[in-house]
Amino acid sequence: MHKLTTPLAIIAATLLAACGADDPSPTAESTYAWNVPEGFPLPRVPEDNPMSEAKVELGRHLFYDTRLSVNETTSCATCHKQELAFTDGKTTAEGATGDIHPRNSMALVNVAYASTLNWANPVTTTLEQQAMVPLFNEDPVELGWVGHVDEILGRLRADERYPAMFEAAFPDADDELVSLDHVVKAISAFERTLISGNSPFDQYMYGGDDDALSASAKRGMELFFSERLECFHCHGGFNFSDSNDHENTVFREVAFHNNGLYNIDDTGNYPEGNQGLYDSTGRPEDRGRFRAPTLRNIALTAPYMHDGSIATLEEIVDHYAAGGRFVTDGPYFGDGRDHPNKSQFVSGFLITDEEKADLVAFLESLTDETFINDPRFGDPFAQAGPSQEQNEEQ
């Protein structure tokens, strides 16, 4: 491990604390082989949904199966593509029936460690809870299960592979094997395996490979972890986020931040229906507060922010250097830099063009090529080649 500046020492200490005093070996209750990167903690797993290879494989198939949408056009993978670190590259997501979601698709990178799911929902704390949202959301419609549960489950029951896969995944089930509960649990188990920790940054910082980072990225790393730029306060720890939960955390780390993106008419308002934590709590002090997502693989997940309103990493740096965004005209006119709820860590800073390039180079060094090319996370239907039905159609 490289010699660390103080903030870097903090992130390393966090990582070591996450590991615990002993090796993160599976507990007696869970013999699932996680294969997490060296030094990473084990994710927390709900007691009623233990991990197994069969369940993860079933979940992978369901994740990529468009028959899980009402009109058989959309799967989980439609909005969460592996090559884009499980985002979709769109400003905001589009549901199966064409409804436009107000939020940008969040990356599923290391989602097993997120203490809360979604951009600004403080009560959705497990992947099993989160999976119900795209299935049953009606405003906007995402996969469109409302009123179609039996129809969609019937497609899975009629498939020649799924009944046996469900039986292998849930061998002790007393009730219906191909059920909503088992669909949700299997998809959640698969998502829990989407762990990334082999970026050039990891190879340099924890693998001891001096050549893994360019000179520019090393300078950018020093900037990222500096008190001058403050980035690491909200994007720190082994997962580059301040909202983490895993087997070794005593208290669930939950944080939401206002980064000065809007301040409509200088009233503190954000666009209607997209006001962050305020939409859940109704408290004025929560207006514009969102969860800081992990920055792992951030170069692949543009556009950025909860509404996809910033296109590039360079523009992201400009936003934080300015201490927020001043919308000069249109319906969202107002100066986000003066938002009363803005985080103390978004105070702005001076940065040269060379430093900005260095900081972007560091952010790009968080891209894990093995993660986005790992066949364990890929589309099983594409890997299997054309189905018999597809061959007959040809």
pLDDT in tens, 63-104: 999 999 999 999 999 999 999 999 999 999 999 999 999 999
Binding residues for heme c: 76, 79-80, 231, 234-235
Same domain, 145 and 273: no
Same domain, 152 and 91: yes
- Structural domain of 154: 53-195
Task: Give me the torsion for CA of 105, 107, 108, 110, rounded to 10°.
Answer: -150
Same domain, 190 and 204: no
Question: Whole-prediction pTM value?
Answer: 0.90
Q: What is the pLDDT of residue 388?
A: 44
CB 349 within 8 A of CB 320: yes
Q: How far is residue 257's CA from residue 236's CA, in Å, rounded to a whole number?
A: 14
Count of the separate structural domains present in the chain: 2
In this predicted structure, which of 18-22, 37-41, 117-121, 351-355 has the lowest mean pLDDT? Answer: 18-22
CATH number at 356 reads 1.10.760.10
pLDDT-derived band of residue 39, with 50, 70 and 90 as boundaries? Answer: confident
In this predicted structure, which of 173-182, 215-224, 379-388 has the lowest mean pLDDT? Answer: 379-388
Binding residues: 76, 79-80, 231, 234-235
Same domain, 302 and 191: no
Q: How far is residue 247's CA from residue 20's CA, in Å, rounded to a whole number?
A: 9
Same domain, 125 and 213: no
Q: Is 249 exposed, middle or buried (0-12, 13-18, 19+ CB in 10 A)?
A: middle
Same domain, 163 and 311: no
Residue 34 lies in a domain: no
Same domain, 296 and 221: yes
Residue pLDDT, tens place only, 237-273? 999 999 999 998 888 889 999 999 999 999 999 999 8
Same domain, 256 and 363: yes
CB 267 within 8 A of CB 335: no
Residue 357 lies in a domain: yes
Residue 386 lies in a domain: no
Of the residues 176, 195, 214, the one at which a domain ends = 195
CA nearest to 53, candidates 260, 252, 177, 192: 192
CA nearest to 49, candidates 205, 173, 145: 173
Same domain, 254 and 344: yes
pLDDT-derived band of residue 385, with 50, 70 and 90 as boundaries? Answer: low
Residue 2 lies in a domain: no
Same domain, 160 and 227: no
